Structures are given as C-alpha cells and as structure tokens.
Amino acid sequence: MTDERARRRGGASLAPTKPESPRTAPSPAERTSVARPGEKRPFLLDFFPLETARDTRLSKFYDRLREGRLSTTRCPKDGVLLWPPRTACPKCHSEDLEWVDLPERGRVYAFSAVLAGAPLGMENEVPFPVGLVDLDGVALRLFGRIEGAPWTSLRVGQAVRVEAYDLNDGRVFYRFRVAP
C-alpha cells in the first residue's frame, strides 16, 4: 500500500522515516546568545517588529513613538478606538483611519514577572516585570514591560507612565515606568 492510500484510509505509514540530516555547525551568529547593541538579531528570534514604512503600513506608530508619543488608530466613522493600531476598522472595514495620541499615564491592572526564558537580548535582565495597564481616560488595556521597581514591590493599581525606549538598532518600542 502506498503512503497516500494508507493516509486516506487513516492508517499509519509503514514507510521508513528519513534519517535526520546531520546538524551543521552553528554559525558565529548562532553561537552568540546575547545580541549586542547595534547587532542584527536573527529574524525568527527577533522579539520586536520591523518598523519602517517599507516593512509595515503602521510605521507611523513608531515614528510617533520616536517623538515620545504613544498613539493608535481610530475609526472616525464610528469612533472605535483600536489597539493595537490597525490599517482597517474591524467594524466597518474602512481603511480611512486617523492617528490619535493616547494618555501617558495609567494604572497596573495585573502583572507578572519574567524569571527565566527571556527573549533574545534580554537574558541578562531577568527577573523583570510585565503587566497589563489600563490607560487613564480611555478603555484600553495594554500589555508591556514595567520598569522602575522590582516585581516584588509592584502592586495592582500602581500608577505608571508610558515611555519610549531605543532598541539601539534604529528601532523603538514602548514600556511602562513606575510613576511617583
């Protein structure tokens, strides 16, 4: 019986499995476990998105973040505030969306900590807190890293503010910092 006939009948293939190809020696980039500032990360292990207009239609989000403004898109037709920013409104499918700045402050809704298994480039930073933050005045709950206090001293309801930070490779991202 051929493999195809066995598969269609729901039977297991009796064909011998191919031997695994011998593992090739890791390249110098693979041997390096921690990406240094300015060093290009292997794409599949890159924790952060590509941000230029060539790579994403949401490049304005990052352009505005470089100016210290956390922003998102809103559909002017039905007023839906979208997070994360989108290129089309999920309600009316309009692509005619507007960019709006978001509040800079919020409160921790819930948090946890990364104690192990941190993404590439963050191995030396564990433990660090991450959490969900309710932004002041809008119905948005954002996930992000929280700086400025050890996770053991964070509390639900803690006031935080948004900050942009430089990834040292031409990109930026946002995170939260404990606010006084």
Contact positions vs Zn ion (CB under 5 A): 75, 77-78, 89, 91-92, 94
Considering beta carbons, is residue 67 or 98 the nearer one to Zn ion? 98
**Contact in structure between 144 and 136 (CB atoms under 8 Å):** no
**Contact in structure between 46 and 167 (CB atoms under 8 Å):** no
- Report, in Å, the least distance between residue 96 CB and Zn ion: 9
- Report, in Å, the least distance between residue 35 CB and Zn ion: 39
**Contact in structure between 55 and 171 (CB atoms under 8 Å):** no
**CB-based contacts of 52: which residues, under 8 Å, 6+ apart?**
59
SS3 of the chain: helix, strand, coil, percent, to 5 = 15, 30, 55
C-alpha span between 150 and 93 (Å, rounded): 42
| Paired residues of 161 in beta bridges | 105, 177
- Report, in Å, the least distance between residue 175 CB and Zn ion: 29
Considering beta carbons, is residue 67 or 78 the nearer one to Zn ion? 78
- Report, in Å, the least distance between residue 71 CB and Zn ion: 17
Considering beta carbons, is residue 91 or 155 the nearer one to Zn ion? 91
Considering beta carbons, is residue 10 or 90 the nearer one to Zn ion? 90
